[in-house]
Structure 1
Amino acid sequence: MPAWRVSSWPAQMTPGDESEVLLHGGTTNRGRVTRVGDTVRRPVRPTSRSTWALLRHLEDVGFAGAPRFVGVDRAGREVLSYVEGDVATPPYPAWALSERALTSVAELLRDYHAAVASFDASAHEWGRPLPPRYRGPLVTHNDPNLDNVVFRDGVAVSLIDFDLAAPGTALWDVACAARLWAPLRDRADSPLEGEGDVEEDSLRRLRVFVDAYGLSADDREHVAGALLSAHAWCYGIVQDAVTHGHESFTPYWVQGGAAQAERTRTWLFAHRREVRAALVP
């Protein structure tokens, strides 16, 4: 293992040092991610070294759409570069649900997949594995939620939070992103508004997303088949966290998260034909 360098920032801020500012958004590390100047401090995880190697690779190949790994501070936290921009958190602003934002996320994900293709995942340890049929050599992000993408002027410029990254396939990652950004869920839980039909709008946005990514007809068939699995995999992580008493996931799950997850699963199953029709020309 490489000897990761220690950041020059002190572990404890003192008068005259740049103060720490809590960053909002996300659930896993809620209350534990801060900004210090042009860096971000986050808890170290068992798979952090793998993530650091991934970020170093992305930097080496010139991919600008991810934070840079800076080091580990004296408090034992990972130090990443701070990516300037906006992150969408509820209640979602109109720009986050625009078609411009939607297509730019698909293009950013496609560019990430191209950049990471030359990274050797086999030399590293990863977290929760993907379902067997969706595993592969490509390290996928696996959590491209709205609050894990940084925007500038309404255009996606960077993915953040690679905590769930693991070897998979591009089509799996597209399915993960498309179900979140369309979004594919019960109208009671959809952030989409307007005079039109919410369901039709989400299916149209699904088609826009895969068009922007540039999928072939065969690839679209695979994405359609992966949507339910992606949903189950994601919420399996949440359920595991709740089982172990996670301080943020537990209240979320009890106060409506479990019910929403079930509504989404029911919606995806009930609308699987409409979803496939929207995806495949």
Structure 2
Amino acid sequence: MPKSEVETQLLGGTANRGLVVRVGDTVRRPLRASSTATHALLEHLENVGFSGAPTFLGVDSQQREVLSYLPGETVTPPYPAWSMTDEALDSVARLLRDYHQAVAGFDPAGLDWAEPVPPEYVAGLVSHNDPNLDNVVFRDGVAVALIDFDLAGPGSALWDVATAVRLWAPLRPDADIADPRRGRTLTRLRRFADAYGLAEADRLRLVDATASNHVWCMDYVRRGAETGHPWFHQRWTTGEAALTDRTNHWFKTQAETLHHALL
């Protein structure tokens, strides 16, 4: 087999675990019901000159979408020290802002998207909706690209910031943070909002948005587990359900403290 056709499995992710491969300078991923919408989004980003997302290259003979491979590192356990720094956090916020500026002119009407965002957080912008640690590509410790647009759809900048800061601060009980970010939740929450340049009106809504985002995301995982998806089932039944309950309670008890951190 020619070297350019050798398939190398890519790590990370849950929904498509074991199904995403690199072939030369391309990535092959399963098609989905929302693929047409995602491809239109990626084509828009390419057309406006945004380099922080894969390029859609077509569909291969195995009916997999073909995307450009973006060289760099993603953040998977055990988390490297550089990925936990404030500088890395700042670069994620700036990358997300750049994406929102690039996507602002994209019209999502008439396309079928994957997972509806709560209507109160839909404001005329297609958000990524899953800027998890393993969905951001870094080079030399700086975030340069977003990958895995499977959950992208009509949302808002606020919803994306809520998603990102919930995962990157992270926003959860300190006892459930087993890395250098423990004890720095409030500082990193404020820092992310500042680095993004979040508008005052959105800062006032950010804490409520993060709590809603946690419910939205964990409901997606729970439904995946209940419908038999093996990796979602494993994740949900090996601690995620209990962590979800603890985090939901934490958001309720810490809401005032979180709001104050953003002032």
Which TM-score band (shorter chain)? Answer: over 0.9
Partner of 1:84: 71
CA–CA distance in 1 between the matches of 2:116 and 2:166?
19
Counterparts of 1:183-262 in structure 2, within 5 Å, are 183-193=170-180, 198-199=182-183, 201-262=184-245
TM-score, structure 2 length as denominator?
0.97
* Match among 248, 259, 262 for residue 276 of structure 1: 259
Counterparts of 1:100-179 in structure 2, within 5 Å, are 100-179=87-166
Check whether the contact 2:3–2:24 (CA below 8 A) recurs between aligned residues.
Answer: no
Q: State the Cα distance separating 1:15 from its structure 2 match.
A: 5.6
Check whether the contact 1:92–1:191 (CA below 8 A) recurs between aligned residues.
Answer: no
CA–CA distance in 2 between the matches of 1:49 and 1:74?
17
Aligned residue pairs, count: 263
Letter in 2 for 1:24: L
Is the alpha carbon distance of 1:109 and 1:231 closer, same or farther for their aligned partners in structure 2, counting shifts above 3 Å? same
Secondary structure at the aligned position of 1:266 is classed as helix
Instruction: Say which one has the larger Rg.
Output: 1
Check whether the contact 1:175–1:223 (CA below 8 A) recurs between aligned residues.
Answer: yes
Letter in 1 for 2:196: Y
Letter in 2 for 1:133: E
Check whether the contact 2:121–2:155 (CA below 8 A) recurs between aligned residues.
Answer: yes
Partner of 1:265: 248
Letter in 2 for 1:83: L
Q: State the Cα distance separating 1:266 from its structure 2 match.
A: 1.6
Is the alpha carbon distance of 1:276 and 1:211 closer, same or farther for their aligned partners in structure 2, counting shifts above 3 Å? same
Letter in 1 for 2:228: G
Q: State the Cα distance separating 1:191 from its structure 2 match.
A: 3.7
User: Mind listing any 5+ residue stretches in structure 1 that lack a counterpart?
Assistant: 1-13
Secondary structure at the aligned position of 1:118 is classed as coil
* Match among 81, 86, 94 for residue 99 of structure 1: 86
Check whether the contact 1:39–1:79 (CA below 8 A) recurs between aligned residues.
Answer: yes
Secondary structure at the aligned position of 1:179 is classed as helix
CA–CA distance in 2 between the matches of 1:245 and 1:56?
33
Check whether the contact 2:114–2:152 (CA below 8 A) recurs between aligned residues.
Answer: yes
CA–CA distance in 2 between the matches of 1:16 and 1:250?
36
Letter in 2 for 1:271: Q
Please say if 1:75 is aligned against 2:58.
Answer: no
- Runs ≥4 residues deviating over 3 A: 14-17
> 1:159-192 CA distances to partner (integer Å, 9 max, x unpaired)?
0000000101111111111111100111222143
Secondary structure at the aligned position of 1:143 is classed as coil
Percent identity, aligned pairs only, is 56
CA–CA distance in 2 between the matches of 1:231 and 1:241?
15
Partner of 2:52: 65
Q: State the Cα distance separating 1:258 from its structure 2 match.
A: 1.1
Q: State the Cα distance separating 1:16 from its structure 2 match.
A: 5.8
Secondary structure at the aligned position of 1:70 is classed as strand
* Match among 54, 57, 61 for residue 41 of structure 2: 54
CA–CA distance in 2 between the matches of 1:23 and 1:216?
37
Secondary structure at the aligned position of 1:139 is classed as strand
Q: State the Cα distance separating 1:252 from its structure 2 match.
A: 1.2
Q: State the Cα distance separating 1:123 from its structure 2 match.
A: 2.9
Q: State the Cα distance separating 1:90 from its structure 2 match.
A: 1.1
Please say if 1:180 is aligned against 2:142.
Answer: no
> 1:171-227 CA distances to partner (integer Å, 9 max, x unpaired)?
111111111110011122214338xxx33x111001000000001322201112211
Check whether the contact 2:4–2:24 (CA below 8 A) recurs between aligned residues.
Answer: no
CA–CA distance in 1 between the matches of 2:257 and 2:60?
50
Partner of 2:22: 35
